[in-house]
């Protein structure tokens, strides 16, 4: 067994999910190439005294189901999934699908229905279990990153097995600052946005829920946001790659949205009422992730980036927004991506992707590696 796989498995079971004796752990995976990691996870869950369970997913099969699905059918499917999830103390998802666009030709109304009907299981898993989600390196991901598979594997294991305890300590000053901040102002090319995060509270993402990790998030006060934002990274959602996304926001609501497919993006934002409001604001700080690759788990952690997310908020940073959508859209503010500034209560916090206050400079990439 590759020692890097063993190291990653220990990180997932001992640190991310903190598997204890008697814990039932659902390991959900897609893709043949990740089976060695799944096998090691099973061994490590047993070693920790836990009870492993496995769930196999397949996007091709899911596509066929969704093309002809009914609301009653999906509701019953979720009842089964929810019953299983309620029996688990921990959940590990490993995704290594061979085609990231497998669901691209499923009609939007079917995808939106699927999101709504599976929300109960997602909510329970996020709020009631110890969980972690990760991708696994394969040819599809290497193509997204424009590298060979071998080079991508080297990058992947560096990113995913960094010293998350060190990162967690470095995040403390930023969390404390966000906890006491009221007004946020974001400036950049095509972007001038203001909102409040007062009283919401900030959360460190330091390897316990996503691998790779590296962000500190909160949520905007639901009706406080005004201005315009022009995202500068592509985003793959429901099998389609969106580019050149621009939102005009008034009193917290996206009142105008455009992209490379205006009709499609507005259909997505009309999934439910909450999809046009924002549920998360986060700063990305992973020093090994520098460029987008159309994979949210990586892109939202890009050093010098932030993401502002239409849809559902998290229970640990609640702003009251409910939705079956949670779409992490990323803007990179390093100079090669156009630069930009973030201000907290009229104090410059980050310029061109680098933190300015002395107590936050530990999060700049040269200091965090």
Could you report the per-residue pLDDT of 251-310, keeping only the tens digit for each? 999 999 999 999 999 999 999 999 999 999 999 999 999 999 888 889 999 999 999 999
- The mean-pLDDT minimum among 43-57, 142-156, 173-187 falls in 142-156
User: What domains sit in the chain, N to C, each tagged with a CATH number?
Assistant: 3-160 (3.40.1830.10), 164-368 (no CATH)
- pLDDT tops 90 at residue 6: yes
Share of the chain above pLDDT 90, in %: 82
Where in 162-277 does DSSP place strands (E)? 183-188, 191-196, 203-205, 210-211, 215-218, 226-230, 235-237, 240-242, 246-250, 253-258
- pLDDT tops 90 at residue 160: no
Average pLDDT over residues 187-214: 94
- pLDDT tops 90 at residue 144: no
Name the 3-class secondary structure at 32.
Answer: helix
Average pLDDT over residues 168-188: 97
Contact residues for 69 (Cβ-Cβ < 8 A; gap 6+): 110, 113, 114
Instruction: List, for residues 336-369, the tens digit of each pLDDT value.
Output: 999 999 999 999 999 999 999 999 999 999 998 8
Share of the chain above pLDDT 70, in %: 100
pTM recorded for the entire structure: 0.79
The arrangement of strands across the sheet holding 51-56 comes to 51-56, 24-30, 90-95, 130-135, 210-211
């Amino acid at each position: 067994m590759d020692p890097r796989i063993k190291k990653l498995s220990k990180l997932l079971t001992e640190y991310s999910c903190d598997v204890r004796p008697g814990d039932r752990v659902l390991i959900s995976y897609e893709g043949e190439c990740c089976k060695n990691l799944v096998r090691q996870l099973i061994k490590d869950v047993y070693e920790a005294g836990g009870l492993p369970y496995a769930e196999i997913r397949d996007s091709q099969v899911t596509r066929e189901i969704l093309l002809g699905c009914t609301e009653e059918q999906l509701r019953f499917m979720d009842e089964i999934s929810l019953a299983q999830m309620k029996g688990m103390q921990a959940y590990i998802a490993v995704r290594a699908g061979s085609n990231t666009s497998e669901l691209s030709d499923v009609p939007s109304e079917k995808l939106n229905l699927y999101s709504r009907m599976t929300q109960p299981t997602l909510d329970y898993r996020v709020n009631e279990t110890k969980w972690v989600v990760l991708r696994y390196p394969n040819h599809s991901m290497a193509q997204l990153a424009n590298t060979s598979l071998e080079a991508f594997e080297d990058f992947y294991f560096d990113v995913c097995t960094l010293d998350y305890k060190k990162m967690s300590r470095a995040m403390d000053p930023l969390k404390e600052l966000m906890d006491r901040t009221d007004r946020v102002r974001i400036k950049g090319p095509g972007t001038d946005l203001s909102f409040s995060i007062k009283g919401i509270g900030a959360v460190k993402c330091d390897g316990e829920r996503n691998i790779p990790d590296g962000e500190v998030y909160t949520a905007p006060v639901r009706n406080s946001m005004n201005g315009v934002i022009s995202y500068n990274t592509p985003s793959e959602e429901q099998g389609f790659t969106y580019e050149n996304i621009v939102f005009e926001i008034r009193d917290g609501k996206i009142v105008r949205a455009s992209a490379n497919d205006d009709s499609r993006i507005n259909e997505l934002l009309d999934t439910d009422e909450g999809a046009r409001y924002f549920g998360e604001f986060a700063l990305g700080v992973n020093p090994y992730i520098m460029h987008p690759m159309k994979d949210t788990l990586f892109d939202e952690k890009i050093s010098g980036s932030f993401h502002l997310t239409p849809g559902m908020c998290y229970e640990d940073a609640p702003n009251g927004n409910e939705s079956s959508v949670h779409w992490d859209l990323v803007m990179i503010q390093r100079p090669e991506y156009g630069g930009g500034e973030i201000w907290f209560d009229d104090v410059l916090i980050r310029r061109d992707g680098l933190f300015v206050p002395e107590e936050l400079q530990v999060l700049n990439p040269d200091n965090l590696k």
